[in-house]
Chain A
């Protein structure tokens, strides 16, 4: 797409040279006072710090491009003011807020107003407003039916306040990111989620969460409203940006909305500049020919892009359906397979006692035993995966769980000559944990590590306590950011994804592990390390209760 945008801009410039004065005659011009113009001249560098991870409003792509609705608004504001802002790339949201407080950056492009933030920032009139909605994977029709149910909200977002303020009788389940809540709703871990329509629509499409739908009854009477926020010692700039925003046309705003909320390529014909360009093209036949060629190429690209998007969406849909059917099948399969397995097992036991104890008979019996065990392991994996997701929480120590798990895999590690190094912090507070389920996670990870290293490797286990500047943004902690885990590496958490030879892995271990960690409100990520090997990071949060 980068190619077609450049081409398009180039084309506009050539054509516009035949229409002097046309563009400046439109009603988009903004009236800055002399003082305001002087202020802009006196401040040649205005530093903008977007949230690096806030789709579809604003985010940085892996290659550092600034994208999203706010990004498009920012570009229009730049265009109106005839200036260029300086983009500051921060690694995470807490850093953005720190820099804003320290006035190391000047403008945050998409921020919801709050009394705390108003102590150091000035807010423009909101330019993005997204309606609050209830999303569910079940058949609820209105908010009354959700009484007593488990509802996910993102910590510190307006929906958290909204539910508390209205005293709705629901069980709140706080998650770090909108996507986490939607995934839980899709898998039945929560009954519904409250969020804004823009993020919800965008994330459902992007991640193929096909079984989610929006509850019909419009019970949510609050919106998510985003403004430009300017450091409060620069009131001039707040007014300047306000003026630029006020000059935006309905068509421009509509084009941005359509672009991000329908996942289509930019709607060129909604842009008035495009029509001026086309008029120019009629006047210049030669250029029109060129334009036709380029236009065809753009169309072709659009078709290709759309096809890729569709293929992508289709893949995600299949994944989601696979997950659902596994749950339904598991219990039925277990019953039908475990009974015959029991018969085979006891039959083999009987024969082993009755038959002559020669080497061949012994080998046959052993093979039968092992085959039964293998089949049983797969079935148990399936049951674990589809199991009703409840935790038995007790106050426990993560280090203790790690040590117990290491003890249980100790024999395997010694046999494979894998050196185990532990570096467990002794200042970890107790947490509410399901120690059995977590032990399952750790054993699973350690065994995976052992199988991956085969022989003579190092397994290093570290635990530590880390304070994050902003509680709401735990998942954005730089060292624990899993945005690197895109596409392929996230597949490792899919059920039945395995790289092990037939019979050595069910492909369910990591999916089960992720479910368990999610139920603890934690996160898990895996990535290859530059220096070789792989690292898995699991994060738990403290004082969940205090965070409301």
Chain B
């Protein structure tokens, strides 16, 4: 069965690229969302196995988005991979407890690396 991935990033071109690259492997079903504040609703509808989440978005940070998700019982088994354009892992860990401990990728990331990370997190 295909794994469901929800990609949340304020850059439409980037979410499109991620969707194209993931879906062409035939292993994933991908939905994209460009507003952090819409992510919760999208997750409730789509019930993803994993959420790929930008850390810094204009309306809501990745930290806040994942905090919302964790309050929802139905979404409690969802996995997270964070992406950021700004800083390093250490500094992001200091930003919020919801990010610390999760997988973390620095932009720009190569597709191979992205897929390897997603597989690892799904396998956990």
> Which residues of A line the B interface, CB within 8 A?
331, 334-335, 338-339, 341-347, 349-350, 353-354, 372, 376, 383, 387-388
B24 contacts partner chain A, Cβ-Cβ < 8 Å: yes
> What 20 new A-B contacts, CB under 8 Å, besides A338-B86, A346-B108?
A335-B56, A335-B86, A338-B108, A341-B108, A342-B14, A342-B85, A342-B107, A343-B11, A344-B108, A346-B14, A346-B18, A346-B21, A346-B109, A347-B17, A349-B111, A350-B20, A350-B21, A350-B24, A350-B111, A372-B108
* Interface set, chain B 38-91, CB cutoff 8 A to A: 56, 83, 85-88, 91
Q: Which residues of A contact B106 (CB under 8 A)?
A: 338
A21 and B87 CA atoms in complex are apart in Å by: 77
Residues of B within 8 A of A353 (CB): 21, 24
Cross-chain pair count, CB within 8 angstroms: 67
CB distance from B65 to the nearest CB of A (A): 17
In the complex, which residues of chain A have a beta carbon less than 8 angstroms from the beta carbon of B109?
Answer: 342, 345-346
- What's the Cα separation between A353 and B83 when bound, in Å? 23
Q: How far is the CA of A344 from the CA of B110 in the complex (A)?
A: 10
Residues of B within 8 A of A338 (CB): 85-86, 106-108
Closest to B106 in A: A338
**B1 contacts the other chain (Cβ, under 8 Å)?**
no
Say whether B116 faces chain A, with CB atoms less than 8 Å apart: no
Interchain Cβ contacts under 8 Å between A and B, 29 examples = A331-B86, A331-B87, A334-B85, A334-B87, A338-B85, A339-B11, A339-B107, A341-B107, A341-B108, A342-B11, A342-B14, A342-B83, A342-B107, A342-B108, A342-B109, A343-B11, A343-B13, A345-B108, A346-B21, A346-B108, A346-B114, A349-B17, A349-B21, A349-B110, A353-B24, A354-B24, A376-B108, A383-B87, A387-B91
Interface residue count on the B side (C-beta < 8 Å): 23
CB distance from A500 to the nearest CB of B (A): 23
Chain A nearest CB from B28 CB (Å) reads 14
Which among A341, A346, A376 has the greatest number of chain B C-beta atoms within 10 A?
A346
A344 to B11: give the CA distance in the assembly, Å.
12
Max chain A C-beta neighbours (<10 A), residue from B13, B87, B107: B107
CB contacts (< 8 Å) of A334 on chain B: these are 85-87
B23 CB to closest chain A CB, in angstroms? 10
Q: How far is the CA of A343 from the CA of B3 in the complex (A)?
A: 23
What are the residues of chain A within 8 A of B24 when measuring CB–CB?
350, 353-354
| Known contacts A341-B107, A341-B108; A388 and B91 CB within 8 A of each other | yes
Q: Which residue of B lies closest to A345 (CB)?
A: B108
Name B85's closest neighbour in chain A (CB-CB): A338
A383 to B109 alpha-carbon distance, docked (Å): 17
CB distance from A76 to the nearest CB of B (A): 57
Complexed CA–CA distance, A376 and B85 (Å): 10
- Alpha-carbon distance A334/B91, docked complex (angstroms): 14
